[in-house]
Structure 1
Amino acid sequence: MNKVLISNIYKNNFEINSIITVCGWVRSRRTSKSGFSFISVYDGSCFHSIQVIANNVLSNYYEEILNLTIGCSVVITGNLTLSVGSQQKYEIKAKKIKILGWIKNPDTYPVSAKKHSLEYLREVAHLRSRTNLFGSIVRIRNSVLHSLHNFFYKNNYYWIPTPIITGLNAEGAGEMFRISTLDINCLPKNNNGFVDFKKDFFGQESFLTVSGQLNLETYACALSQVYTLGPTFRAENSNTSRHLSEFWMLEVESAFSNLNDILDFSEMMLKCIFQFVLDNCVSDIDFLKKNIDSNIFNRIEKLLLLDFIRIDYTEAIKILKNIEYNFKNPIFFGANLSSEHERYLVEKYFKMPVIITNYPKELKAFYMRLNNDNETVASMDLLLPGIGELIGGSQREERILILDKRLLELGLKKEDYWWYRDLRNYGTVLHSGFGMGFERLISYITGVSNIRDIIPFPRTVNSAKF
């Protein structure tokens, strides 16, 4: 069987009148009075479907082909021809159509041809990948993943698989998911009456990671340039359109680099990704332009031409305090910029991407390098219109005495971070890094605003379906 993907038909200029086999699912079927059926078949390999012309001389035409409905799985063998219609370039004149799977009850098929709301499709997440929208999101997501790995490879970065199971809270704050093999109905207790985690699987209290950064730094201090990309977990009781309990995070660490180095690198990385998407996802982006965001091409192309605005946190506070706008959250030096503040800066004030640097130390994690003013740290947040914060990073604190002081200030135990501190004792160097929420990046590219529609199976508060 000379099975081909529909994407390869459009890419490879197959010889006209060659006999090919396509496997896929029915998107639509219409029948003419002259004894022909026109069947639109897709296989998910690209946005395009291919039209199949079925003649009534086929042996199963009346018994099966005339009963095909959306969602039925089929194997089509026939001659590839140029289409006489204007809606598609190619079509297949069927010699044989084999039906692999029927839709048992077309009237109750959860993803029928009518338009469904995104809220409804989350309830049938096991089937929503069959829609045009989610097919496009997944193909774009895959292309971005490919472009990221390719970008880092070309820039001599090594991929490091950091652990998902950890005994540390990398951020020093926030809720974590505990993992355990202990019997919750009969928990062992120590002499103080607390749960005895020494009897647990790992011999200590363990969690799902909120970040691979600390582990990644150990390899940056040996291989110079490293990155990781994988799932991370946050147990915050947040039910907004911007938060997931399980999401993917890109994290980058570079030795012998300072804050300005990662500002330049993160901007270059994003522009490389956006260019790759525009070059390789045209059909999917065009569909999203017609159905989700009419400005999608202009928005991405504009970003490629701009140098991102860079301002200090202190300057950002001054701007926000001096404008007449009714913010819900107060503005003062030391205030944590909320989503409304960030989006005002990028969407109304500058109307372009903004990188804010040098936040007060009280707002940031213990590992960020203390500046000479002893009040701020060498940190950065990269903000995009429509999204807010996409990337957060910093120059890391490489001085052991100052790192120990920061741990003490935040109520963290030095002994818990003994191996992380060792990096400062054995050949310490300037090094910097950042993290980027992968789903937020895809949300910006696609224009799909709710992050639950960016990941195939969203995990959120009170929801771990499928």
Structure 2
Amino acid sequence: MKKISILDIYNQNNHLNKLITINGWIRNNRYSKIGISFLTVYDGSSTSTIQVIVKKILYNYFTEIIKLTVGCSVIISGYLKLSKGNLQAYEIHACHIKVLGWIDHPEKYPMSAKKHSIEHIRNYCHLRPRTNLIGVISRIRNVVFQSLNQFLNNFGYLWVSTPIITSIDAEGAGSMFKVSMLDENNSNNQINYIRKENEFFKKKVFLTVSGQLTLESYACALSKVYSFGPTFRAENSNTKKHLTEFWMLEVEKSFSDINDISAFSECLLKNSIADVLNNCVSELLFLQKKVDKTIINRLNKFLEIDFIQVEYTDVIDILLKNKNIFDEDIFWGKDLSSSQEKYLVNDYFKSSVIIRNYPKKLKAFYMRVNDDKSTVSAFDIIIPRVGEIIGGSEREDRIDYLDNRMQEIGLNNKNYDWYKDLRRYGTVPHAGFGLGLERLILFITGINNIREVIPFPRTVGHADF
């Protein structure tokens, strides 16, 4: 007797008329007075379910089978048959069913069979993977994660694990979470934090906003590297596109410039979406029916159209010529708003856009200053629905320029002395970029809120589970 998944059933034909075993959970239970039950079972491997036909001759039919409710877990053994019904291709004629887990108080079960809002299931992040929607998103997220790693591996990039606990602010913005020890001697058994930050590490430390600076040290020795892990931003932004903890892919390449690294980032983006189109057909069809009717056409179009490269200065000129559309002030030196980004990709260019050479005051200290002394060799990739999805730049490899930039921003040079060593000892031109995983999943799935594309969202005022 072979144990298989529902995905195996629909992907292979060699199990037909054979005795098989599946594990799963009940999605529906219909039973008739003549002693036949029809169970709908899913196992998380696919959007598909399998119908199981159970007759009253089973020893536990009346004591257990007819009492099964949504969410109960079971092991089912039976013969796989072609279904005579129109709603499914296959069905299992059960020979044995073992109930593993019952649902306490089925009438109160949060993931019951009735339709629930996204806001409702978000309150039960530990249970919401049992819904079709979150299951679909999770499988797509997994494919994207694997695709990004494989793409970089194929091009010779080495994975490097960068620190989560850090004493430096990579972005120079100060939006960081401080790390402190718990006071275990508190007599009231309450969670208090030791105020002396130097108790453990002998200095103030924080959760990282980026692993880029430490990643650069490996790029300057191993040429092509990347890191992929959680990052943390203590920004008081409670929008549909912001999280305080999210996953970031960061890529660094030595002997590289803005042209090379921006073209590579476009290829990486398109490759991951092509992999989703090739490997997540049933998931995309589900989303096309439930979330976004245009999803498959939209993703295919994304692959077909080359990104348009444009200078920041030219973007400002374009916006000024159409300033009557916007409520915001528009001038050189100001960052782009979300409405301006939408206009550029949806209306003006009708394409994803790579915006290059931003004013240096808008960007981080480590970006290479251009010859005009007022801009840096940086780029952002702006795509429909999401806005900015990738930010990158050439890194400043000249130590005198780096010193000047840190002084302008007010950073403590001593904290970055090791970083300047990379410029003292065999400096090379190098470039890199960061990609927010959740924003990419947001674009692919067409979901409106970023809280649905990460398993346990952390946002302002919310750090449950």
TM-score over 0.5 for the alignment?
Answer: yes
User: SS of the residue aligned with 1:179?
Assistant: coil
User: SS of the residue aligned with 1:215?
Assistant: helix
Question: For residue 9 of structure 1, what is the aligned residue in structure 2?
Answer: 9
Equivalent residues of 2:342, 2:387 under 8 A apart: yes
* Residue range with higher mean Cα deviation, 3-12 or 417-426: 3-12
1:288 partner letter = L
User: SS of the residue aligned with 2:376?
Assistant: coil
1:117 partner letter = S
Equivalent residues of 2:399, 2:424 under 8 A apart: yes
Equivalent residues of 1:346, 1:385 under 8 A apart: yes
Question: For residue 191 of structure 2, what is the aligned residue in structure 1?
Answer: none
Distance, in Å, in 2 between the alignment partners of 1:395 and 1:184 is 46
Distance, in Å, in 1 between the alignment partners of 2:37 and 2:153 is 49
User: SS of the residue aligned with 2:3?
Assistant: coil
**Is 1:401 paired with 2:400?**
yes
Shift, 1:348, TM fit: 2.1
Using the aligned pairs only, state the percent identity: 57
2:87 partner letter = Q
What are the residue-to-residue correspondences of 1:52-451 with 2, within 5 Å? 52-181=52-181, 183=183, 196-198=196-198, 200-451=199-450
User: SS of the residue aligned with 2:231?
Assistant: strand
Shift, 1:182, TM fit: 6.2
1:419 partner letter = W
Distance, in Å, in 2 between the alignment partners of 1:298 and 1:434 is 28
Equivalent residues of 1:174, 1:234 under 8 A apart: no
Question: For residue 190 of structure 2, what is the aligned residue in structure 1?
Answer: none
Equivalent residues of 2:9, 2:15 under 8 A apart: no
Runs ≥4 in structure 1, deviation > 6 angstroms? none
What are the superposed Cα offsets for residues 346-389 of structure 1, whole Å, 9 maximum, x if unpaired?
A: 12222221110100000000000001110100000001101000
Equivalent residues of 1:312, 1:356 under 8 A apart: yes
1:73 partner letter = S
Equivalent residues of 2:323, 2:330 under 8 A apart: no
Distance, in Å, in 2 between the alignment partners of 1:21 and 1:185 is 53
Equivalent residues of 2:306, 2:351 under 8 A apart: no
Distance, in Å, in 2 between the alignment partners of 1:197 and 1:63 is 61
User: SS of the residue aligned with 2:326?
Assistant: coil
* Residue range with higher mean Cα deviation, 228-237 or 82-91: 82-91
User: SS of the residue aligned with 1:378?
Assistant: strand
User: SS of the residue aligned with 2:74?
Assistant: strand
User: SS of the residue aligned with 1:424?
Assistant: helix
1:271 partner letter = K
What are the superposed Cα offsets for residues 126-163 of structure 1, whole Å, 9 maximum, x if unpaired?
A: 11110000000000000111111111111111111111
User: SS of the residue aligned with 2:315?
Assistant: helix
Distance, in Å, in 1 between the alignment partners of 2:122 and 2:389 is 24
Shift, 1:123, TM fit: 0.9
1:146 partner letter = Q
Distance, in Å, in 2 between the alignment partners of 1:233 and 1:304 is 31
Distance, in Å, in 2 between the alignment partners of 1:317 and 1:284 is 40
Distance, in Å, in 2 between the alignment partners of 1:86 and 1:274 is 33
Distance, in Å, in 1 between the alignment partners of 2:53 and 2:353 is 53
Shift, 1:83, TM fit: 1.7
Question: For residue 48 of structure 2, what is the aligned residue in structure 1?
Answer: 48
Question: For residue 190 of structure 1, what is the aligned residue in structure 2?
Answer: none
What are the superposed Cα offsets for residues 202-258 of structure 1, whole Å, 9 maximum, x if unpaired?
A: 111000000000011011111111111100001111111111111000100011110
2:239 partner letter = T
Shift, 1:321, TM fit: 0.8
User: SS of the residue aligned with 1:235?
Assistant: coil
What are the superposed Cα offsets for residues 259-286 of structure 1, whole Å, 9 maximum, x if unpaired?
A: 0001110110111111100000000110
Distance, in Å, in 2 between the alignment partners of 1:4 and 1:450 is 35
Per the alignment, do residues 36 and 361 of structure 1 end up closer, same or farther by CA in structure 2, a change over 3 Å counting?
A: same
Distance, in Å, in 1 between the alignment partners of 2:378 and 2:156 is 24
1:241 partner letter = K
* Residue range with higher mean Cα deviation, 25-34 or 398-407: 25-34
Distance, in Å, in 2 between the alignment partners of 1:216 and 1:39 is 52
Root mean square deviation, CA, Å: 1.6
Shift, 1:196, TM fit: 4.9
Per the alignment, do residues 17 and 253 of structure 1 end up closer, same or farther by CA in structure 2, a change over 3 Å counting?
A: same
Q: What is the TM-score when the length of structure 1 is the normalising length?
A: 0.96
User: SS of the residue aligned with 1:359?
Assistant: strand
Distance, in Å, in 2 between the alignment partners of 1:208 and 1:184 is 21
Distance, in Å, in 2 between the alignment partners of 1:282 and 1:328 is 41
2:155 partner letter = N
* Residue range with higher mean Cα deviation, 134-143 or 97-106: 97-106
Number of aligned pairs? Answer: 458
Distance, in Å, in 1 between the alignment partners of 2:80 and 2:244 is 47
Distance, in Å, in 2 between the alignment partners of 1:351 and 1:41 is 44
1:461 partner letter = V
Distance, in Å, in 1 between the alignment partners of 2:94 and 2:392 is 56
Equivalent residues of 2:39, 2:51 under 8 A apart: yes
What are the superposed Cα offsets for residues 289-326 of structure 1, whole Å, 9 maximum, x if unpaired?
A: 00000000011000110100110000110111101544
Distance, in Å, in 2 between the alignment partners of 1:282 and 1:64 is 36
Equivalent residues of 1:174, 1:236 under 8 A apart: no
1:294 partner letter = K
Distance, in Å, in 2 between the alignment partners of 1:411 and 1:240 is 30
Distance, in Å, in 2 between the alignment partners of 1:333 and 1:327 is 15
Structure 1 unaligned runs (5+)?
187-194
Equivalent residues of 2:122, 2:452 under 8 A apart: yes
User: SS of the residue aligned with 1:77?
Assistant: strand
Shift, 1:33, TM fit: 4.5
Equivalent residues of 1:76, 1:94 under 8 A apart: yes
Shift, 1:100, TM fit: 1.1
